[in-house]
Structure 1
Amino acid sequence: MTERVALVVGGGPLGRSVAEKLLALGYRVAGADRKPEGLEQLPAQVTRIVGDATDPEAAQRIVADAVSEVGAPSVLVNTIGMYGMGDALTATPDQFRQMMEVNVGPALWLTQAVVPHMQSAGGGSIAFVSSRFGTDPEAGIAAYSLSKAALNHLVVVLNHELRASGIRVNAVAPQLIDNPTNRTFLPAEVLDHATTPDQIADQLVHLVTESGSPVSGAILPAYGF
């Protein structure tokens, strides 16, 4: 048994791939998702925790359950997020609020919950999933782009605040991931240039493990070709 513990939040294809790769590296892994069915495809060795990390109190419970069941995480990877279209002039308060609550909120709430455990252990590593549109916005995805820009800013702020504690914070920024949701509305010629969940998971695992130890405060481009 290893003492290295990872918490992976989000049970979709990306979260599943991250969990599998961390297991292969010898980590004990807890996986969290807001619905039990979101955890069904995780490997059997992963401890499953149901909780909605958009809720600050639920995020605290997710981390507490992980600590109780597998140990204090030295690694946190948050993969949950959502995409939404709409221009700035027609954006509604509900759309804006939802994008911020899903794309930024869990990153902050989970970090608040896990950092005391990492500080007690003398360090740790955290990674989020951003987007190219957080740094290179385009017309028609205003609220989404703003939420990812806020997430990027959070990475930089956390790097400044946590580096002295030995805690690294980074994000991977895909342009487009080839997943079941995107296949429902995007044409095949667009998806031909998308990255796969496995490719993005490779970058996330690199950032949170020893091979990424020199890197903190980075938004890693992973745009595909």
Structure 2
Amino acid sequence: MGVRLLIIATAVLALASSFAEASDPSPLQDFCVAVNDSKAAVFVNGKICKNPMEVDANDFLFRGLNKPGNTSNPLGSAVSPVNVNNLPGLNTLGISLARIDFEPYGLNPPHTHPRATEVLTVLEGTLYVGFVLSNPAPGMKNKLFTKVLNAGDVFVFPEGLIHFQFNIGHSKAIAFAGLSSQNPGVITIANAVFGSDPPISPNVLTKAFQVDKNVINYLQSQFWYNNNN
């Protein structure tokens, strides 16, 4: 299993790197290992660089994607990201990775990555995946593209579009995703709309969703789970 995970992860990263230039800017040096300093006085588009003389191999290493994420939540899924926040050597390289674990009928709910295209490879199980197009023509609805993926299948979610993955099998599923940004970001639609802090005005959501205000009040009173480990 460990060798298979390594092969899949490497392949996904290689695929993602082919379109990385469409998102994060290209580096102007060999590397720019991120300094994890929230109090840094310099603000840049990314993170400031560590002194190259202090960089070592550990700055380019992350361990642990051989271990499944904690799927004991109502969604039945867990996303284990590897980005610039836990792998400083990714800074300026325009790429990141995630492992996604699913319980039977587990869901990675509709979400977007505002700064990255995602290429997904299924390692185990059967996933129903899809994304929704933006800017429908007048009088038309947003078009949905869906596919059922099995082990070894690859699917691409274009940058910024709402997408999802749902385990339709009777056993657990594992997938790896490569993303064309060192820090792709994630906006889970339901969490953002109904679980924002402070809450969006119920008057806004009632009109937007064309439902009774009691429905909105109920949805805003729920606890919206985050499946990112």
TM superposition score category, shorter chain reference: under 0.3
Tell me which protein shows more strand as a share of its residues: 2
Higher relative contact order (CA 8 A, sep 6+): 2
TM-score (norm: length of structure 1): 0.25
Tell me which protein shows more helix as a share of its residues: 1
TM-score (norm: length of structure 2): 0.25
Work out which of the two has the higher radius of gyration on C-alpha atoms and give 1 or 2: 2
